[in-house]
Amino acid sequence: MTRPIIGRVVPERWRTTGATVPGQRTVGEPGTARIAVDLLGGDQAPAVVVDGALRACRADPFLQLTLVGPADAADAILAAQKPGVRRRITTTNTPADTVGAAVLAVAEGRADALVSAGDTRATVLSAARELGRWPGVRRPALTAVLPTAAGRVILLDVGSSVDPDEETLAWHARLGAAYASVVHHVPTPRVGLLTIGTEPGKGDRLRRGLPARLFDLPLPAGGRYAGLVEGSDVVLGRAADVVVTDGFTGNVLLKGLETAYALTGTPAGRADPPPRAALLLGVSGTVVVCHGAATGPDIAAGIALAADLHRRASVAAIADLLSAQRGIA
């Protein structure tokens, strides 16, 4: 019998975070979250990454961070910190392919999750290769949460698949519904398809042909297709709990709305906007991607998101829900 490679999907089975795999170490202390952070990821790295790591550690005493990159890029700053913080942040000596090394740390069980503000394509490719994709998922989806006038909306994809086909967007609908149910406890999630109007036939060829398939598509957690939605529906948040689109359009919408909210305030004056970070859904591990232009607080928020998802075993729960919905043992 062939021994499964750590971090990859065993054929015909769902490989989920937290599962016991030959040779993989288990997490030690309950509540502890070991996060590998790409030290060179982001436009202002490494300074902004170190700043975010320090903020995250000060806010969460159970974090253990490994900054993956050249050791001398952070050592001087870390040496000036209090011993309690300094003990919980270590560095590696990885001069190149820092995101690949961070992914490998998760695949080998040395970290529970990873955070990167580096090149999205490199992160997605490394995660798919080293962690493995879930059965049926050809293109993992970056999944973000946006504040709306009615609450929050889950938007995917926001940068992973810029030229998807119908099968990819159908999978995004499944992934989004499962994410809404598991992470945000949304009962019977409503899934909308983003386009330029709500009348039948609106949009490009892909969006004109997809609604018929989505109407008949079984979605996890009792989810249902809610029809076409426009950009205004994303801001209002009343038409759908999950909005599905391609990575190109989703990324443009995400950055436009985040900039607008930064200038004018979030809808309904929400004091707790979601983090400016996205979870990569469809791979067997917790992978959080921040903007390339992320600030220290953004990196800290991404680390906090990764830690929370790990502690709640969210990725495993999403995979299990999809597995049960599709009838995979």
Each residue's pLDDT tens digit, 60-108:
999 999 999 998 888 878 877 888 888 899 889 888 899 999 999 999 9
Which pLDDT belongs to residue 270? 65
Range of the domain at 203: 138-276
Going across the sheet that includes 151-156, the strands are 89-91, 63-68, 33-38, 113-116, 286-290, 277-281, 141-148, 151-156, 242-244, 190-194, 224-229
Q: Higher-confidence residue: 23 or 33?
A: 33
Single-letter amino acid, residue 175? L
Each residue's pLDDT tens digit, 247-302:
999 999 999 998 888 888 888 666 677 888 999 999 999 999 999 889 999 999 99
Measured N-to-C along each axis, helices 166-184 and 205-215 cross at an angle, to the nearest 10 degrees, of: 60
Could you please report the per-residue DSSP string of 23-68? TPPPP-STT-EEEEEETT-STTTTHHHHHHHHHHHHH-TTEEEEEE
CA distance 91 to 304: 19
Q: What share of the chain has pLDDT > 90, as a percent?
A: 61
CA distance 101 to 144: 24
- The closest alpha carbon to 19, from 103, 112, 100, belongs to 112
Single-letter amino acid, residue 251? N
Asked if the structure places residue 318 within a domain, the reply is no
Count CB neighbours of 69 within 10 A: 27
Which pLDDT belongs to residue 266? 81
Same domain, 96 and 189: no
CA distance 286 to 135: 17
Asked if the structure places residue 298 within a domain, the reply is yes
Which pLDDT belongs to residue 15? 34
Single-letter amino acid, residue 60? D
Say which CATH number the domain at 72 has. 3.40.50.10950
Total number of domains constituting the chain: 2
* Average pLDDT value over all residues in the chain: 85
Same domain, 157 and 121: no
Same domain, 72 and 59: yes
Whether the predicted pLDDT of 197 surpasses 90 = no
DSSP state of 111: -
Same domain, 179 and 265: yes
Same domain, 187 and 303: no
Q: Higher-confidence residue: 52 or 96?
A: 52
Query: Which stretch of DSSP H or E encloses residue 314?
Result: helix 314-326
Same domain, 271 and 156: yes
Which pLDDT belongs to residue 209? 83
Asked if the structure places residue 173 within a domain, the reply is yes
Say which CATH number the domain at 194 has. 3.40.718.10
Question: What is the pLDDT averaged over residues 189-213?
Answer: 87
Which pLDDT belongs to residue 29? 52
Same domain, 11 and 63: yes
Same domain, 267 and 286: no
Which pLDDT belongs to residue 35? 97
Same domain, 214 and 286: no
Asked if the structure places residue 293 within a domain, the reply is yes
Could you please report the per-residue DSSP string of 175-220? HHHHHHHHHH--SS-EEEEE-S-SSTT-SSHHHHHHHHHHHT---G
**pTM of the predicted protein model:** 0.87
Same domain, 219 and 266: yes
Whether the predicted pLDDT of 162 surpasses 60 = yes
Whether the predicted pLDDT of 232 surpasses 50 = yes
Each residue's pLDDT tens digit, 105-137:
999 999 999 999 999 999 999 999 999 999 989
Question: What is the pLDDT averaged over residues 298-326?
Answer: 92
